[in-house]
Amino acid sequence: MTDLYPQEHPSQAPAQITVQALAAHGPAEQANLAGHKSSLIVPATIAFVLIGITGLLVAAFLVVSLGTGAVAIAGFMALIPLVVVLLGIRWIDRWEPEPRGLLVFAFLWGAVSSVFVALLASLIVEIVQEDAGVGAAEREILGAVIQAPIVEEFAKGLGILLIFLAARKYFDGPVDGVVYAATIAGGFAFTENILYFGTEIVEGGTVSGAVGIFIVRGIMSPFAHVMFTTCTGIAIGFATRRTGVAGGILAFLIGLVPAMLLHALWNGASYVVGESYLIYYVLVQVPLFIAGVVLVVQLRKAETRTTRARLAEYAAAGWYNPDEIIALATPAGRRQAMAWARARGLGLVMKGYIIDSTKLAFIRQRLVSGRAAEGAQVEEAAMLAAIVARRSALTQSGV
């Protein structure tokens, strides 16, 4: 295995790579990177304070409306579809994992801040409709088919836009958009499910009263909100590859259109198809979900091709042995590399080597596409140094 690895400092390397990778260690560049990191502290602090405040308000609303017991039972029930969604997100995000801090923010934004916006809008609209003399039946339909899709998708999509604006360096394309959108949507659905399940428990007087809605929301449609909000995430993800801030905002607005339409279609169907809802579900919603899965699979394949292409450039410069690219940039190659490493007690080292190499590929992608922020060259150099260290740990194992 040792002969797979080239020299740590290749004698020949294209200047386009080596200048960016090796000449970015100066104090000015390091200061730029440190400044970029510190610039995120203020917006991150504001964001989490906002989440904390709205979280307390949402929690108080749930407890006052449903009672502590109903909220606890409904919360346990809501965990089941949430786990399903999180497992799906984990599968999507395995190739190039997003920072955990951003994923925590995304989930909390969906579970707390987005719900707060939806509840506040619902209260305002209800007051306006009552003053206007709108009947209860009409309010229910308007709320489900028009108000909810517009308000909820805007609130959830706003979280994706905030990640794009504040942490664009971690937003590399549509797959990242899917991951952030799905995490926000999963959080929103979790809290909304607590409200729906808890309401049925309180009104029915027993947990069995929530079985029907649990089947519809928890089993038949755990990915409904994910499917809606992913439209916005994909739109912003594509924009990150070609445009700046203005383009990202425009993509946000464009992505909201299919997100709201799909949401309205889902909510409105029950008022149209009636007792034929199950047939509609099988003929319309299931194919839409399958189409979404196929799209995500294709986007993941595109990520694989990007990783392979960018790492091949480093291989041409001597940073990798060409044979390594297969092991690092293909699913089958990664499985074989991990099996080899685990057999020698080096599983964690190999996993880190794969993750660092993937990060390097996407840093390189930002550089060659002209989307790199200040400090990207320092990041590239630091990642190359980390990769050299990982390789040393692998080759010095005596195998």
pLDDT 10s digits, 58-108: 999 999 999 999 999 999 999 999 999 999 999 999 998 899 999 999 999
- Percent of the chain beyond pLDDT 70? 88
Cβ 177 vs Cβ 237: under 8 Å: yes
Predicted confidence (pLDDT) per residue in 276-322, tens digit:
888 999 999 999 999 999 999 999 999 999 999 999 999 998 889 88
Amino acid at 171: F
Residue with tokens 């089947």: 215
CA angle 221, 224, 228 (to 5 degrees): 170
pLDDT at 9 over 50: no
Closest CA to 195 of 311, 121, 131, 112: 112
Query: What digits encode the pLDDT tens for the residues 159-208?
Result: 999 999 988 888 989 999 999 999 999 999 999 999 999 999 999 888 88
Task: Please report the sign of the dihedral spanned by the C-alpha atoms of residue 6, residue 11, residue 16, residue 17.
Answer: positive
Can you tell me the distance from the alpha carbon of 249 to that of 235, in angstroms, rounded to the nearest whole number? 10
Output the pLDDT for position 158: 96
Token duo for residue 124: 């305002």
